[in-house]
Amino acid sequence: MLLKHMLPPLVAFVVFIGGWELIAYLAKAPVYLVPKPSDIVAAALENKHALWVSVTTTTLEAVLGFFLSIIMGVAGAILLASSKWIEKSVYPYAIILQTIPIVAIAPLIVIWFDAGMNAIVIITFLIGFFPMLSNTLIGLNSTDQNMSNLFYLYNANAFQTMWRLRIPAALPYIIAGLKISCTLSVVGAIVGEYIAGIGGGAGGLGYAITYAAARLKTAYLFACGLSASALGISFFLLVNAFSKWVLSSWHESEMKKDS
């Protein structure tokens, strides 16, 4: 069964890479213009130490920003869901914050927190925050009314209702936010490195991409871009595995269906 699902994308991948290699070879395109897949692999191996340092730096920044967005997003949604008055007062400003381009406020972040890790993590957090806040708030406000009435009949207080009913019911929405935010965290970390990153041996993928582009090291540029993509996919797969672990026993979205 697994082979049946994996075979079509694997065949498409082999055909695509093989066609790319063949066309680039026959066209005799310069490496700095259109590198072959073999050139990309060679560039990655040649710069494996620098690439590994860049990947680990970006991973650390993305993970820190991601966890910060989870904590603040879920906590903020619980606060907003606890009072309609607070939600109506504060939520519009969260939307406004989301609509402001991050490049417009990034210089302020650099001024306030200095360039480097702190500023990059905050930029990553800002990019991943709204999906967590919005999805969690939707989930908390979508609690079954009959269950809410049952809790009311049993004299459950607001904290008990929130902790034992509304948060568990919102888990599918929270995980949907995680799936969006986890990939955005990688994007946010790289964007942050463009704006607020530091160079040298400790630079992340954003710095490595800038370095490769400035020196027309196109093969290494591709290697950095593919590494960023692999990092985002890894984050998503981890969150997807967590989703199956949490929801597979009770929620329709992850329960195995009879074919």
Note the pLDDT tens digit of each residue in 91-101.
999 888 888 88
Domain boundaries, the chain: 54-246
Mean pLDDT of 49-77: 95
Q: Helix, strand or coil for residue 184?
A: helix
How does residue 258 score in pLDDT terms, banded at 50, 70 and 90? very low
Mean pLDDT of 126-133: 94
For 145-157, give the DSSP string. HHHHHHHHHTT--
How does residue 1 score in pLDDT terms, banded at 50, 70 and 90? low
pTM of the predicted protein model: 0.90
Mean pLDDT of 61-79: 96
Q: Residue for token digits 């996919």?
A: 233
In b/e form, how buried is each residue of 17-46, taking b as 16+ CB within 10 angstroms? eeebeeebeeeeeebeeebbbebbebbbee
Q: Helix, strand or coil for residue 147?
A: helix
**Cβ atoms of 109 and 119 closer than 8 Å:** yes
Note the pLDDT tens digit of each residue in 183-225.
999 999 998 998 887 665 678 999 999 999 989 999 999 999 9
Mean pLDDT of 165-178: 95
**Cβ atoms of 122 and 65 closer than 8 Å:** yes
CA distances from 10 to 4, 34, 60 (A): 10, 23, 30
CATH number for the segment(s) 54-246: 1.10.3720.10
